A and B are shown apart, each in its own frame.
Chain A
Amino acid sequence: MIFSSTRSLPFPRANALLISVLPALLVGCGGDDDPGERAATVRFAAQINGEAFTCGKTYSGVGVGQPGSYQVNDWRFYVHDVALVKADGNRQPLDLDQDGTWQYQNVALLDLRQDCGSGTLPSNNVVKGAVPSANYTGICFKVGVPYALNHLNDATAPSPLNASGMLWNWRGGRKFIRLDGFGAPGSDNSTAFVVHLGSTECPGADPSAPPVAACGYPNIAEFCLDNFNVDQDRVVMDMGHALAGSNVAFNTANTASGCMSGNADPECIPILPRLNLDFTYVAGASATPEHYSKVTPQVLFSVGKP
């Protein structure tokens, strides 16, 4: 099964594995219909506190504080390094279909909107690929875009890395998660409250250029779920859980609406730790940084059984 082990290499480590790849290439060319291989489709679902997500719908009981009503108008996120996990704990990276649209190298874009009140939108709730046939009992994946692909020029980057709605600026890369919405919609207190996760403190003097070194806070978290049957189950993302400590009808003046990952944005303090990320809050130039550890076990993703 030397071929199985090579085809599964996670892309960022490709260089390191060239030595092992080369012999595999020399022994033959293989093919997509390798009998030892199977297709695998990982299905995702979105929920707000256990309730299925419908774009444009207003949910109640979100976060802390009253009234806790929250209208959700966008929900997209990137994942990468998706792997199925065998019973013995060994991981088998999913070799993603290079479909030219939703998946590129080891990255996939999930777009769960479908329809935000004005008709059908391009949407995608699956990650498709292939793995060697085996008994898999779990799944691991990372949310976000790996550094090597995150800061490509949007003009020439391949899909889905050129999805314009997921762009930050060139230096900042992509939004890893985009959740847009309003707290207390329709009331006098209606407040734009979004969650835009991405890398922060990416060094460089020019926002229209790649960072000159790795970002200070990559904000890429890995998630592993046990008892996951890829043929039956869904990976459920619940942003209601991410907002469990937030007042979605309040935003600190002169900071980004909700949390856009900024280290000076107090609205991120209760949110990033619930996205399985440590968060450093720095109120200002002379302030002492405050560290907030990620919530464990993570609360963002769970396995949805049929």
Chain B
Amino acid sequence: MKLQRYPAGVLLLSALLTLTACGGGDGDGSDTTTPQPPTTDAGYAWSLPAGFPTPKESADNPMSAAKVELGRHLFYDLRLSVNQTTACASCHLPERAFTDGRVTAIGATGEVHPRNAMSLTNVVYNATLNWANPVLSMLHAQALIPMFGEFPIELGWSDHEAEILDRLRRDGQYVQLFAAAWPGEADPFNADRVAKAIAAFEATLISGNSAYDQSTLQGKWDAMSPAARRGQELFFSERMECFHCHGGFNFSQSVSHAGTTITQTDFFNNGLYNIGGTGDYPLDNRGLWEFTQQPADMGRFRPPTLRNIELTAPYMHDGSIATLDEVLDHYARGGRLISSGPFAGDGAKSPYKSELIVPFILNAQEKQDLIAFLNSLTDWEFICDPRFADPFGNFPRHARCP
């Protein structure tokens, strides 16, 4: 029945096909707006904002409410670091949309990370993880990096794995949480299970109820201010080009979900550096080039989501721009001029800069409007959601939360 190869056809046509009972029945709906069910094979029900796609579930780590709850505890637990000073949340504070406010992150033993801590907002929808890792796409694989990384040390699990796991094993609450998450396993206390539980929790950190979302997908036109609306027009204009890299429902071109079958691993050089006119970036922050050593990949990083961007300063992969105002100045110039010092060079003239980073002129009003639009992407329900809060009370919620 060839006509059924149109999986989301005209409603009436689909209805007729059903009536004629010509095989099929492959579950394809006739409504293009909800092609995926919101429940996983194992029965886990995603909690999704209106108009959001079903996340892609890892086959190695099926979602379950018990894993999510275990993961939430682990995420906020200081005992997860070698010296019991640092949790995942130390660099991913809920009040800052799961970033840390630092230029670059600092590990449990004080080592400084070369990169700015990324927001975990909608991390389940990222095509790839970290700032410039083209092969890392699974949250539970990513979680092992801060656990075991030595250059720099983040949580410091390397050589201390048994010691850290014993802390958990001796805690009666964790005995219950691990047993619920991995029923039937004699000893689920291992790094793999820890990483997968944290990943399950991270996969629930879905933000889609900002003023923008309320206006766009929930029919509440007034949720966005007139200034934010004017800024939206600028954001989506060919003059500014913002949306080429930060487009789509998650305001990032690097997106993956159950409905995406073409891998969309995008990385861009946005003209932050051009050391000595060579196109080089600082040695410890060269982006995709570190994986490929291809000249064209120098300084290419993944465009992060702009959701909750108001709360995630400072900005860029190395935290080198303090405010959104300055971020706009950077893009208006078409790249950053560093006039002296070891990184001197004009990023606007980098040979590896993206075609879509071009100068523009914004007047003061337009700049305010654009920032109003970016602020309309802040989702206070997400920031204050008790489901995402620290069960131990170590990490405060945003002052604005009720």
Chain A residues close to B by CB (< 8 Å): 6-7, 11, 14-15, 18, 21-22, 25-26, 29-32, 56, 73, 95-98, 100-102, 104-105, 109, 111, 116-119, 122, 130, 152-160, 162-165, 167-169, 171-172, 180-182, 185-186, 188, 190, 192-194, 206-209, 251, 254-257, 260, 262, 265
Q: Can you name 25 A-B residue pairings with CB atoms under 8 Å? A: A14-B10, A18-B10, A25-B3, A25-B16, A29-B23, A109-B262, A116-B296, A117-B295, A117-B296, A118-B134, A119-B292, A130-B2, A154-B249, A164-B252, A164-B255, A164-B260, A165-B266, A167-B248, A169-B243, A181-B355, A182-B355, A192-B356, A194-B355, A208-B232, A257-B356
Q: Which of these, A29, A155, A257, contacts B249 with CB under 8 Å?
A: A155
CB distance from B354 to the nearest CB of A (A): 8
Q: Is B343 an interface residue (CB 8 A)?
A: no
Contact between A159 and B261 (Cβ–Cβ < 8 Å)? yes
Chain A interface: which of B32-40, B89-97, B190-198? B32-40
What is the chain B residue whose CB lies nearest that of A186? B351
Interface core residue of B215, B233, B358 (most chain A CB under 10 Å): B358
Contact across chains for A158 and B355 when beta carbons are under 8 A apart:
no
Check B44 for interface membership: any CB of A closer than 8 A.
no
Determine which residue in B13, B16, B34, B52 has the highest number of CB atoms from chain A within 10 A of its CB, and name it.
Answer: B13
Q: Is the CB of A169 within 8 A of B7?
A: no
Contact (A101, B32) CB under 8 Å given A192-B356, A262-B238: no
Total number of A-B contacts with CB less than 8 angstroms?
180
- A104 and B262 CA atoms in complex are apart in Å by 13
Asked if B3 and A190 make an inter-chain contact with CB atoms under 8 angstroms apart, the answer reads no
CB of A162 within 8 A of CB of B13, answer: no
Q: Within 8 Å CB of A254, what residues of B? A: 239, 360-361
> Cα distance A24–B95 when bound, in Å?
61
Establish whether residues A208 and B216, one from each chain, have CB atoms under 8 Å apart when the complex forms: yes
Could you tell me the distance between the alpha carbons of A21 and B361 in the complex, rounded to whole angstroms?
56
Determine the chain B residues whose CB is within 8 A of the CB of A31 once the complex forms: 1
Interface check B391, CB cutoff 8 A: no
CB of A15 within 8 A of CB of B10, answer yes
The answer to whether A102 and B262 touch (CB under 8 A), given A25-B20, A157-B32, A169-B247, is yes
Give the distance to chain A from B245, nearest Cβ to Cβ, in Å. Answer: 10
Choice from A56, A118, A256 contacting B288 with Cβ under 8 Å: A118
Question: If the complex has contacts A153-B51, A159-B262, A192-B355, are A21 and B13 also in contact, measured as CB distance less than 8 A?
Answer: yes
Instruction: For the complex, give the distance between the alpha carbons of A117 and B292 in Å.
Output: 9
Q: Are B249 and A153 in contact (CB under 8 A)?
A: yes
Q: Whole-angstrom distance from the CB of B34 to the nearest CB of chain A?
A: 7
| Chain B residue with the shortest CB-CB distance to A175 | B244
Question: Which chain A positions have C-beta within 8 A of B121?
Answer: none
Q: Which residues of A contact B361 (CB under 8 A)?
A: 254
Q: CB of B241 within 8 A of chain A? A: yes
Contact: B9 with A101, CB < 8 Å?
A: no
Within 8 A of A (CB), among B1-49: 1-3, 5-10, 12-13, 16-17, 20, 22-23, 32-35
Specify the chain B residue showing the minimal Cβ separation from A159. Answer: B261
The closest CB in chain A to the CB of B52 belongs to A155
Question: Are A18 and B236 touching (Cβ within 8 A)?
Answer: no
Most B CB contacts (10 A, CB to CB) among A73, A164, A251 go to: A164
Complex: A97 Cα to B4 Cα, angstroms: 11
Please name the residue on chain A nearest to B31 by beta carbon: A156
Nearest CB in chain A to that of B2: its residue: A7
Report the nearest B residue to A95, measured CB to CB.
B2
A118 partner, pick from B35, B254, B297, B357, beta carbons under 8 A: B297
Q: Find chain B residues with CB under 8 A from A104 CB.
A: 7
Smallest Cβ-Cβ distance to A190: which chain B residue? B351
Which residues from A are CB-within-8-Å of B386?
Answer: none
Assess the A25–B22 pair: CB atoms within 8 A.
yes
A118–B294 contact, CB under 8 A?
Answer: yes
- How many Å lie between the Cα of A186 and that of B279 in the bound state? 10
> B253 at the A/B interface (Cβ < 8 Å)?
yes
Contacts of A262 in B (CB 8 A): 238
Cα-based distance from A169 to B233 in the complex (angstroms): 10
Using Cβ atoms and an 8 Å threshold, which residues of chain A touch B249?
153-155
B146 at the interface (CB under 8 A from A): no
Q: Digit string of B344-366 for contact with A (CB within 8 Å is 1, else 0)?
A: 00000101001111101100000
- Other-chain contact of B212, A73, A162, A208 (Cβ < 8 Å): A208
Q: Is B264 an interface residue (CB 8 A)?
A: yes
Per the bound structure, the CA–CA distance linking A95 and B4 in Å amounts to 11
| B53 close to A (CB within 8 Å) | yes
Contact B247 A167 (CB under 8 A): yes
Q: Are A158 and B8 in contact (CB under 8 A)?
A: yes
CB contact under 8 A between A164 and B7, given known A32-B2, A182-B355: no
User: Would B254 and A21 count as touching, CB distance under 8 A?
Assistant: no
What residue of chain A has the Cβ atom nearest to residue B17's Cβ?
A25
Q: In the complex where A169-B243, A208-B232 touch, is A155 in contact with B248 (Cβ < 8 A)?
A: yes
Please name all residues of chain A whose beta carbon is closer than 8 Å to the beta carbon of B17 when the two chains form the complex: 25
Are B238 and A260 in contact, with the CB atoms below 8 A?
yes
A22 B9 Cβ-Cβ under 8 A: no
Question: Which residues of chain B have C-beta atoms less than 8 A from A98's C-beta?
Answer: 5-7
Q: Are A169 and B236 CB-contacts (below 8 A) given A30-B1, A97-B5, A208-B212? A: yes
**A168 near B243: Cβ-Cβ < 8 Å:** yes
* Alpha-carbon gap, A157 to B236, bound state (A): 20
Tell me if B259 counts as interface (CB < 8 A to partner A).
yes
* A156 close to B236 (CB less than 8 A): no
In the complex, how many angstroms separate the beta carbon of B267 from the nearest chain A beta carbon? 8
Closest to B296 in A: A117
In this assembly, does B323 line the interface, its C-beta being within 8 Å of a C-beta of chain A? no
Q: Which residue of A lies closest to B54 (CB)?
A: A156
User: With a CB–CB cut-off of 8 A, which chain A residues contact B7?
Assistant: 98, 104, 158
4 tightest CB-CB pairs across the interface, nearest first? A155-B249, A256-B238, A29-B22, A192-B355
Chain A residues lying within 8 Å of B12, measured Cβ to Cβ, are 15, 18
Given contacts A100-B261, A168-B247, 20 further A-B contacts (CB under 8 A): A21-B13, A95-B2, A105-B6, A109-B262, A117-B292, A117-B297, A118-B288, A156-B34, A157-B32, A158-B8, A158-B35, A164-B255, A165-B253, A182-B355, A188-B349, A190-B351, A207-B232, A208-B212, A256-B239, A257-B358
